[in-house]
A and B are shown apart, each in its own frame.
Chain A
Amino acid sequence: MESKIINMVERIRDSEDRKLQALFASAPIEDDGFSRRVMARVRRQILVQRFALPVAFVVGAAIAAKPVSQLIQALYALLKFIPQTLASNIGASPLAQVPQLSTIVLGGTLLMAVLMFGKLTRR
């Protein structure tokens, strides 16, 4: 009720308002393919959104697969090794089997980049 009264009050405009309205008035703009262009971009965006995350997951998984499997192997070896050698020889650690830090960082960075790209294209 209150908003109806407010709208009515707003519609009662004085002659200055009417003149300004006439000054600001313009003919409707015809749809000269504008909505078609917008919809083409929207459909492209839908497509990107639909495929970005699965692709990012696959790429990230592919990059991370090798370092992760190496890490698991190294941890497994370490777990087997520690009880046997605690008493005797600590020097023969299988640390060489742990994947290079640079490989892990590279894989992680690429995974992050792909995920961020996916998120950006979604926006």
Chain B
Amino acid sequence: MDDTFLVARVVAQQDAGAFGELVRRHQSQVRNFLRKLTRDVDAADDLAQEAFLHAWDRLHTYVGHGSFIGWLLKVAYTTFLQSKRKSKRYRDVLEQVAVEAGDPAHHSESSDISDLDKFLAVLTEEERAVMIMSYACGLSHREIGDATNQPVGTVKSIIFRGKQKIRDSFGIEDHKYG
């Protein structure tokens, strides 16, 4: 059964079993998206639960344009934006990255911070979300546009800007990441 069929069953019959199947199918991507966005496993999983509850309430608004996971990530992103517990972890990472930039000796002490953490830390919240949707979740530019309420052209320029920031912040040349 494809996602659209399950959505139709949920909307038409309030079929909790069909919704459960949708949750099982997509929980990994939604949790991964929120974990990357918040860099906090517990907060991300709490937000993911909230996101699925919002999805249950608003499922009738999914009309089949674009993929269901794109719609679900839109709900997750909105839930994240509405949450008051946004990403203390990123402030910590930003501080640590700033310290490292000034004092290379600090570098070895901060091994708990991954390259991805550092790259994401230089991006704005919006850039982070768009980059994660594009590179981690594999959404098309159009789906990202739908999820973030941005035109496709703006999505492309956000990605371009994000990549540029990462290159500039870490002195990366010739696309050498990691």
Contact = CB atoms under 8 A, between A and B. Distances in A.
Interface in B11-58: 14, 16, 19-20, 23-24, 27-28, 31-32, 35-36, 45, 48-49, 52-53, 56-57
Contacts of A7: 140
Contact of A41 (B24, B49, B119, B136): B49
Given A35-B23, A43-B16, A16 B142 contact: no
Closest 4 CB pairs of A and B: A16-B175, A24-B135, A24-B136, A35-B23
Contacts of B135: 17, 20-21, 23-24
A46 to B, nearest CB: 7
Nearest to B167: A16
Contacts of B14: 46
Contact of B53 (A30, A34, A38): A38
Interface in B132-178: 132, 135-136, 140-142, 163, 175-178
Interface string A33-63: 0110111011101100000000000000000
Interface of B: 14, 16, 19-20, 23-24, 27-28, 31-32, 35-36, 45, 48-49, 52-53, 56-57, 115-116, 119, 131-132, 135-136, 140-142, 163, 175-178
Contacts of A16: 163, 175, 177
Contacts of A38: 23, 27, 49, 52-53
A39 B20 contact: yes
Contacts of B119: 23
A111 B99 CA distance: 58
The A interface is mostly helix, strand or loop, or mixed, namely: helix
A123 interface: yes
Interface of A: 3, 6-7, 10, 14-17, 19-26, 28-31, 34-35, 37-39, 41-43, 45-46, 123
Contacts of A25: 136
A69 B95 CA distance: 68
B45 A20 contact: no
Contact of A23 (B27, B28, B32, B177): B177
Contacts of A23: 115-116, 119, 135, 177-178
Contact of A20 (B20, B32, B49, B177): B177
B16 A42 contact: yes
19 contacts: A19-B176, A20-B131, A20-B163, A20-B177, A23-B116, A23-B135, A24-B131, A24-B132, A24-B136, A25-B136, A29-B27, A29-B31, A31-B28, A34-B27, A35-B20, A35-B27, A38-B53, A42-B56, A45-B56
